[in-house]
Amino acid sequence: MGQKFVSLFTKSLLWLIGITLGVILAFQYLELPYSNVLLSLFSACKIPKGPSTDAEILNNVTIFNQPNSIGEHAFEVVSQTRMSHENVTYPRTGFVLEPGSESNKSIGFYECDNSSIVDSVKRLGNVSATQKAGDRSYNNTMDLILLTNCSGGENFTSKPEEDRSGRPYANSPEKAPAYITPPPLSSIAKVSRNITNAVLSRLDNKTNSMKEESFRPPQKDGNTPGKNSSIDSVPKENQDSNISVPEVTSISEMNKLLLQSHASYRSARPKWSSPVDQELLQARSKIENAPIVKNDPNLYAHIYQNVSIFKRSYELMEKTLKVYIYREGAKPILHSPFLTGIYASEGWFMKLMEANKRFVTNDPKKAHLFYLPFSSRKLEEALYVEGSHSHKNLIQYLHDYVDMIAAKHPFWNRTGGADHFLVGCHDWAPSETKLHMEKCIRALCNADVKEGFVFGKDVSLPETYVRNALNPTRELGGNSASKRTNLAFFAGSMHGYVRPILLHHWENKDPDMKIFGKLPKSKGNRNYIQYMKSSKYCICAKGYEVNSPRVVEAIFYECVPVIISDNFVPPFLEVLDWESFAVIIMEKDIPNLKHILTSIPEKRYLRLQMRIKKVQHHFLWHNNPIKYDIFHMILHSIWYNRVFSAISIDT
């Protein structure tokens, strides 16, 4: 009797399940009443229609209905997985890359080509090294990309983008509409607000889920090492703090985020105690209770966030900090600094750090910080395979290097790498270090809020164009304020989407605005330098990435920098008050550039220019480092973030 009852119950249950599934499928594909509800629960393929103006979040599905969206249709971001089965072998130094499966985000748009819309939406935000697709033909037609892809229009093909050294970015999206003349900025801003803000503001900044596959190492969790790895996992409770970041982050918002991060961000709890932990905690207490500094001849108070805290922290760094430099690793990628060009910051720091006697210790047990002395530029030169459009072997090389360090020394695994730091100025450094080195303090030239830069942990590295390695301060300075006859100056290649807009509005439009493309070659780049020395304001417009050597160049030649690069974190932000000596303009305000600059009273301009001279010594390289110079400022930023993120085993 019992067996018959069970059999009857089972059959009834199976019939009920079958009928339920049939009803769901009928609702979904026939679009019967209430199909929106069922669709949002069970479907990731079709998009419901509706007049709602707010976003709804259902598990991993975010549904947005925006009245100003194209066609007034809603769209959704859904998490999907696709597998890559291609076996690729790259020439490398001592290892062969294994194929792996990779995850990516795809976007469904109402009756629209998914792959095209993914590439298009990526280009609507700040286009990174992992998201380049023919910026030369792209030319900021962001407001037309979605219409082109969704209307069945022609797909234009452009050559993959290149970094500033002339090498192509990995796996550049291939489709981009080709237009010569940039559209009005207002139309770009309109679509950017309606589309990208809806999509991208909901994406977690930390995961960067829409990255190109080529920048992903073989599929592994960021804290889960391989079977044969010597790297221990990091406890989940010590993951990065998820402080929400606006789509476009102003400098004042960055300052707030930085303060929040220093109050809340803590690194992984060490697996065993060390005297250095207590030394860091004591240093934090002393910095927080710094005595008031009234008059210091070396520190002009008005250019600092808090001159008292900076001075106390710097003094404690000089007194306390010890750095251990790993000797492992072969040249040219490790221990091989280069000292000229736009990526020279990482080389100069490496050279001066390895030669330093004051901070470097040979006893790793006394070290508060551990330096990983590799060059992101040399890594690219040595291992990038021309035409491969992939960085997997570069990422794997860094993973193997860290794995070797962790196997040979216990210090990485004590903190999960939180007391280790790297200094990388190449555009690709953030993507190449975001997984296996994500817990390290990363000093990056490409300091982009939307590309994984972590406030309170990462450091914005000044990008310095060094022309003379023997005398890096050659030609320092410029004309006096009264002899600066040009209102504004810019010259450069048409990298990225901002510069074409800048030239569209201002090239040959106004005699006061010296806005050019690439200048003709001159000996020692004399024309470019003379323009900087004789202009009041030097325009620092982003290229492919948010960073530009023009920021430091402007300071070098005593020209007030005008930074046009949304979401760029300026160097030494925890110390310097950038708004006190620079002008920061949103990209959307480029059409009003002259009005903004001429609205600055002459008295304020003179104050800005005077303060540029006061801050200048923080951005100068010296063959023998001096107090408060750029070497010490970079090291101080790393020290400061470590002090405020450190945690003891007993905390």
- Name the nearest CA neighbour of 172 among 211, 208, 203, 224: 211
- Residue with the bigger pLDDT between 53 and 471: it is 471
Q: What is the pLDDT of residue 23?
A: 67
How far apart, in whole angstroms, are the C-alpha atoms of residue 629 and residue 625? Answer: 7
> What HEC string does 430-497 produce?
HHHHCCCCCCCEEEECCCEHHHCCCCCCCEECCCCCECCCCCCCCCCCCCCHHHCCEEEEECCCCCCC
pLDDT-based confidence at 446, cuts 50/70/90?
Answer: very high
Residues 404 and 543 in one domain: no
Residues 429 and 501 in one domain: no
pLDDT in tens, 224-244: 455 567 777 655 444 444 566
319 and 354 co-located in one domain: yes
Cα 36–chain centre separation: 38
Kindly report, residue by residue over 297-326, the tens digit of the pLDDT: 999 999 999 999 999 999 999 999 999 999
User: Is-contact 565 548, C-beta < 8 A?
Assistant: yes
350, part of any domain: yes
Helix or strand run (H / E) with residue 369: strand 369-371
pLDDT band at 268 (very low <50, low <70, confident <90, very high): confident
Q: Do 404 and 485 have their domain in common?
A: no
Asked if the model's pLDDT at residue 193 lies above 70, the reply is: no
Residue 513, in any domain of the structure: yes
Residues 511, 407 within the same domain: no
What does the pLDDT look like over 502-521, one tens digit per residue? 999 999 999 999 999 999 98
Tell me: pLDDT of 118 over 90. no
Domain count, the chain: 2
Q: Could you tell me if 305 and 450 lie in one domain?
A: yes
Residue 531 domain flag:
yes
pLDDT exceeding 70 applies to what percent of the chain? 65
pLDDT value of position 5: 58
Q: If you average pLDDT over residues 244-263, what whole number do you get? A: 87
pLDDT score of 419:
97
587 belongs to a structural domain: yes
Mean pLDDT of 264-290: 93
- Whether residue 509 is found in the same domain as residue 641: no
If asked whether residues 368 and 499 sit together in one domain, one would say: no
Give a yes or no: residue 418 inside a domain.
yes
Same domain (yes/no): 433, 575: no
**DSSP labels, 549-576:** THHHHHHHTT-EEEEE-TTB--TTTTTB
Domain co-membership, 402 together with 498:
no
Residue 254 has pLDDT above 90, yes or no: yes
Q: Which tokens is 312 given?
A: 């106390």
Identify the pLDDT of residue 164: 58
CATH number of the domain at 613, please: 3.40.50.2000
Q: Is residue 50 pLDDT above 80, yes or no?
A: no
pTM value > 0.75:
no
Do 450 and 494 lie in a common domain? no
Integer Cα distance of 215 and 170 in angstroms? 7
Predicted pLDDT at 522? 86
Query: Are 397 and 504 in a shared domain?
Result: no
Confidence of residue 649 (pLDDT cuts 50, 70, 90): confident
Mark 393-405 as b/e (b = at least 16 C-beta within 10 Å). bbbbbbbbbbbeb
Mean of pLDDT values over 569-582: 98
> Which carries the bigger pLDDT value, residue 331 or residue 155?
331
Query: For 182-204, what is the mean pLDDT?
Result: 37
Q: Which domain holds residue 593?
A: 481-619
| 610, part of any domain | yes
* 436 inside domain: yes
- 49 occurs within a structural domain: no
